[in-house]
Amino acid sequence: MNMLMIGDINPVYDGSDRRYGFAQVTSNTLKEQNQVFKGSGGISQENCNQGFCPAFLDLETGSIYLSRFADGRPAPMHMLDGLPQEVVTQRTAEGKVKAVKPSLAAGFVRQGQFYTRQQAATVMAGCVTQQDNMPSLHLTETSKDVGPSGSV
């Protein structure tokens, strides 16, 4: 799994998705978010054609994790099973991820920037262009490649 890090910027959360950014992310909260943002461009199915890739931002550490399946393949939607062990807080008896750290927020990476669901929806609505001054986190990819189970 590629891990992206914020370069020389402290993550500043704009609060637009506060309910989801600080609630413990589970598969149920991801489904709920999809219902809330359906039709707005803030879900994977509606923004992937514009270069948005589902990802998670750890607001505590600034780490960005691209969404992946458990086997490490890139996922076209937000998937918990591909996240590294250090962000997993609960697993089912079968080993599937049940919950992750409360500091994880679902969003997207596009052209090296992380967007919250609300920011992605705003871009998709055409209200903001790439050149406009919109709060987002600029990323640089690290050379560390973390496997789906957290192994290097």
In a domain, 150, yes or no: no
pLDDT along the chain (152 residues), means of 10: 37 43 76 88 85 91 93 94 94 93 90 88 72 45 33 32
Q: Is residue 148 domain-resident?
A: no
pLDDT for residue 70: 94
Does 11 reside within a domain? yes
The parent domain of residue 88 ranges over 2-143
- Residue 113 falls inside a structural domain: yes
Q: What is the tally of structural domains in the chain?
A: 1
pLDDT of residue 152: 31
Whether 146 and 85 have beta carbons less than 8 Å apart is answered as no
In a domain, 152, yes or no: no
Residues 6+ apart with CB under 8 A from 67: 53, 54, 55, 56, 74, 75, 77, 78, 79, 82
pLDDT given for residue 65 in this prediction: 95
Per DSSP, what are the bridge partners of residue 26?
99
The reported pLDDT for the residue numbered 93 is 96
pLDDT of res. 55: 94
pLDDT at 87: 94
Does residue 75 lie within any of the structural domains? yes
Q: Does 151 fall in a domain?
A: no
Q: In whole angstroms, give the CA distance from residue 138 to residue 142.
A: 13
